[in-house]
Amino acid sequence: MKIFILISTIDRRILRVPAVLREPEPEVHYVVVWQQTYQELSEEAEAETAELTSRGDVTLVTLPGRGLSRSRNTAIKTVHSLLEDPLEDAVCIITDDDEKFSRESFGLVNSYYLQHPDVDIALMRMRSVVDKSYFKKYPEVEIDYRKHPRSYYVCSWEMTFRARVWHAGIRFDERFGLGSQKLCAGEEEIFMIDAMDSGLRARIVPIDLGTTRPLSTGMHVSETKVLRSRGAVYGYRYSLPLAFLRTLREAISLSIRMRTRFIPVFRKIWYGVRYVRK
- The rounded distance, in Å, linking the Cα atoms of 32 and 262 is 43
Predicted TM-score (pTM) of this structure:
0.92
Q: What is the pLDDT of residues 182-222, one digit of tens each?
A: 999 999 999 999 999 999 999 999 999 999 886 554 446 55
Q: 3-state class of 92 per DSSP?
A: strand
Residue extents of the structural domains in the chain: 2-215, 224-276
CATH superfamily of 2-215: Spore Coat Polysaccharide Biosynthesis Protein SpsA; Chain A (3.90.550.10)
Judge contact between 33 and 74, C-beta under 8 A: yes
Q: What is the pLDDT of residues 223-275, one digit of tens each?
A: 899 999 999 999 999 999 999 999 999 999 999 998 999 999 999 999 999 99
Distances in whole angstroms, Cα of residue 10 to Cα of each of 32, 100, 152: 10, 18, 29
